[in-house]
């Protein structure tokens, strides 16, 4: 079943890229049901040429062009 995540741009467009030292939300977590779903999300991130980083075999992060990080992991 397709699921979508939408976020608002509260600060406006063309803001400075988020850096690790900035105050505010560092990342958010999206949980998927199983490893198969995790690999589907990873494949889509590669199709979109997103910056990804694996933490474990059950969790990776995706960083968008604005420096916002989403961690994707298999739910516990």
Mean pLDDT across 43-72: 92
In this predicted structure, what is the pLDDT of residue 7?
67
Instruction: Please give the DSSP secondary-structure letter assigned to residue 42.
Output: H
Q: What is the CATH number of the domain that holds 35?
A: 3.30.720
Q: Is this structure's pTM higher than 0.85?
A: no
Domain count, the chain: 1
Cα 62 to Cα 16, 42, 43, 55: the distances in Å are 18, 9, 11, 11
In a domain, 47, yes or no: yes
pLDDT in tens, 26-54: 889 999 999 999 999 999 999 988 899 99
Which domain range does residue 65 map to?
Answer: 27-74
């Amino acid at each position: 079943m397709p699921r979508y995540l939408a976020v608002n741009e509260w600060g406006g467009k063309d803001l400075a890229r988020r850096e690790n030292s900035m105050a505010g939300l560092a990342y958010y977590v999206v949980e998927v049901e199983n490893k198969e779903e995790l690999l589907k999300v990873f494949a889509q991130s590669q199709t979109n040429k997103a910056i990804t980083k694996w933490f474990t075999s059950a969790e990776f992060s995706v960083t968008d062009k604005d420096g916002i990080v989403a961690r994707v992991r298999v739910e516990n």
